[in-house]
Amino acid sequence: MPMIRVILAASLLLAGPAAAQAQTEARTAKPTILAIFAHPDDELIVAPALADAAGDGVRVKVVYATRGDAGPGVSDFEKGAELAAAREQEARCASGALGLDDPIFLDYGDGTLWQQAQSQEGAQSPLEAELRALIAEHDPVTIITWGPDGGYGHADHRMVHALVAEIVQGMTLGEGAPQLLYPGIPTGTLPPVPELQRWATTAPELLSVNAKYDEAELARAADAVQCYATQFDAASRAQLVNVFDQSIWQGAVHFRRAFGRKD
């Protein structure tokens, strides 16, 4: 189904308790998706779904825990501030190509998020506290983030997953608990590309949310990939979306729900 229907279905599930009804109606009038990831370009795995939601009038914001200052990719940049600035501009370009709101950068060090597992000073690490505040501020109906596999096991990805899941699992319906979705690659759909063989796959029966996209949204995703010149060479940028469309997505971006909620 289109992403907007996924969002509205989630709103109906949240509408049960009378105390939450007014909040639910307000959220449904202009629903928000937060896509919370570790690095610029992480969002490409769900790009057509984000474009679809934005095209249907949903407010979509990508939140990056880092600016990717330690990942030069195929560029000549050294690790550090100049690379981070370049990758921030690439991420802003990608959000524009997909029709999204301006992204948010939390500016933690790339490759350092494992340090956010706990805080010596209090119950929450600084990153967890910032994520809690952002979720409270933007009141999303849906949050998209990495699943426990982190895509291909990246420690930063896994930490973002762990913190977001911890936050959402503690929210009640009365607090407006959002639907939490993890992107998944259906088992058996990885293309024969060596760089993709380390990616985790998910049993298809767990991928119960399938956000369909059209050719225009696929084209927006391709435009977003073109923004990431530091991360992919020209040939890869030209082919990536087509490869994903023909093998992994096949007309819909696949997600699994993190939690089942009682009606």
pLDDT tens readout for residues 8-51: 566 555 555 554 555 556 666 789 999 999 999 999 999 999 99
262 domain-assigned: no
Range of the domain at 11: 3-257
How far, in Å, CA of 216 to CA of 233, rounded? 24
Contacting residues for 249 by C-beta, under 8 A, at least 6 apart: 48, 213
Least confident interval from 29-33, 83-87, 135-139, 229-233? 29-33
**pLDDT value at position 196?**
95
| Percentage of the chain exceeding pLDDT 70 | 88
Mind listing the pLDDT tens digit for each residue in 156-210? Answer: 999 999 999 999 999 987 778 999 999 999 999 999 999 999 999 999 999 999 9
Show the CA angle centred on residue 215, arms to residues 212 and 219, nearest 5°: 110
- CATH code, domain with 171: 3.40.50.10320
Backbone angles phi, psi at 108, to 5 degrees: -80, 160
Domain count, the chain: 1
Q: Is residue 87 part of a domain?
A: yes
Q: Looking at the chain, which runs of residues are DSSP E strands?
A: 32-37, 59-66, 104-108, 142-145, 179-183, 209-212, 252-257
| Mean pLDDT value across the chain | 92
Tell me the whole-structure pTM to 2 decimals: 0.92
**Within a domain: residue 101?**
yes
Strand order across the beta sheet in which 179-183 lies: 104-108, 59-66, 32-37, 142-145, 179-183, 252-257, 209-212
Least confident interval from 82-86, 88-92, 168-172: 168-172
Does the structure show a pLDDT above 50 at 92? yes
- In the predicted structure, residue 72 carries a pLDDT above the cut 90: yes
Please check whether residue 263 lies inside any domain of the structure: no
With 50 as the cut, is the pLDDT of residue 69 above it?
Answer: yes
Q: Taking Cα atoms as reference points, which of 57, 59, 53, 52 lies closest to residue 219? A: 52
